[in-house]
Homo-oligomer: A and B are copies of this chain.
Amino acid sequence: MYDKKQGNENSWLLLISGKMEIKTDLHLGDAKDILLDIPSDYCDLIFTSPPYADQRNKTYGGVHPDDYVDWFLPISEQLLRVLKPSGTFVLNIKEKVVNGERSTYVIELILEMKRQGWLWTEEFIWHKKNCYPGKWPNRFRDSWERLLQFNKQKKFHMYQEEVMVPMGDWAKNRLKNLSEVDKKRDESRVGSGFGKKIANWKNRDNVYPTNVLHMATECGNKNHSAAFPESLPEWFIKLFTQENDVVLDPFMGSGTTNIVAQRMRRNSVGIEIIPEYYEAVKEKMDSVQLCLFEPEAGYEKT
């Protein structure tokens, strides 16, 4: 079912019952350069966590906070080009503390990206439930990160039903027996501003989520500093794409986005500048493919 594309070491092809073909392309190089080879209006979702700004220019792609915006803008310009008009760009980022203050490069980046043509549609909060322990005299542990949603157009694809969550416990008692008032409320209160049809909820188990996501951080990944849990890209891939769509991560890192995308039957493109990381993801892709041969993997169902 799985076949490596001929003549291309960096592309994986997943065939499912001969009907579907999921492609995963990995590129080694600088996002700013590699993106030039990607066609315009190609991606349905861009989900990425770029290297964080760092004063010490040692670590992963270290970019100084003062240079961060200038460094990112040429890349976001290309991202704007390769994203479909109906697509969404989700940027996972959080400003560091520099000299006792929160850096402003993230909020400056938002303003500059708007000038570039992006719409800043929403800011989700990733609440990291098990964040880093630690104690400082003048601040507490930082347990949240930004998930900035940008779009090209006011209209974009959003599959809200895919991420619905179970209704709160209150509903069990509340909806047990509906009073007459609940059924009538819709008509009785005209002009009061807040009519509601409780009866509509009777047969419902799930509700729509909010813009605060509660997810634990992943602890096992030692090789990569900026690792997020699989549930994070998974949630946004569910929300903003359908099967066979294209997902892009221009700062692939440990490849979480692409691996999750393939598992969810989305085509994906990954770009990574550091050879070690790039090779590690390639190996991971190979082993994932092996797993797919096992019937237990469940990919042959349907």
- Chain A residues within 8 Å of B, Cβ to Cβ: 99-102, 104, 107-108, 110-111, 114, 119-123, 125, 127, 131, 135, 137-144, 154-156, 158, 160, 208-212
Q: Distance (Å) between the CB of A248 and the closest chain B CB? A: 21
Q: Point out the residues of chain B lying under 8 angstroms from A138, CB to CB.
A: 121, 154-156, 158
Q: Point out the residues of chain B lying under 8 angstroms from A125, CB to CB.
A: 125, 127, 144, 212
Q: Point out the residues of chain B lying under 8 angstroms from A123, CB to CB.
A: 102
In angstroms, Cα B210 to Cα A73, docked, is: 32
Verify B211–A143 contact, CB threshold 8 A. Answer: yes
New A-B contacts (4) at CB < 8 Å, excluding given A104-B110, A107-B110, A125-B144: A100-B121, A102-B123, A125-B125, A144-B212
Copies of this chain held together in the complex? 2
Verify A143–B104 contact, CB threshold 8 A. Answer: no
Q: Point out the residues of chain B lying under 8 angstroms from A142, CB to CB.
A: 210-211
Q: Distance (Å) between the CB of A60 and the closest chain B CB? A: 17
Could you name 5 residue pairs across A and B whose Cβ atoms are closer than 8 Å? Answer: A137-B158, A138-B155, A138-B158, A140-B160, A143-B212
Q: Point out the residues of chain B lying under 8 angstroms from A137, CB to CB.
A: 158, 160
In angstroms, Cα B209 to Cα A135, docked, is: 10
Cβ-closest chain B residue relative to A103: B120
Q: Distance (Å) between the CB of A2 and the closest chain B CB? A: 36
Verify A102–B127 contact, CB threshold 8 A. Answer: no
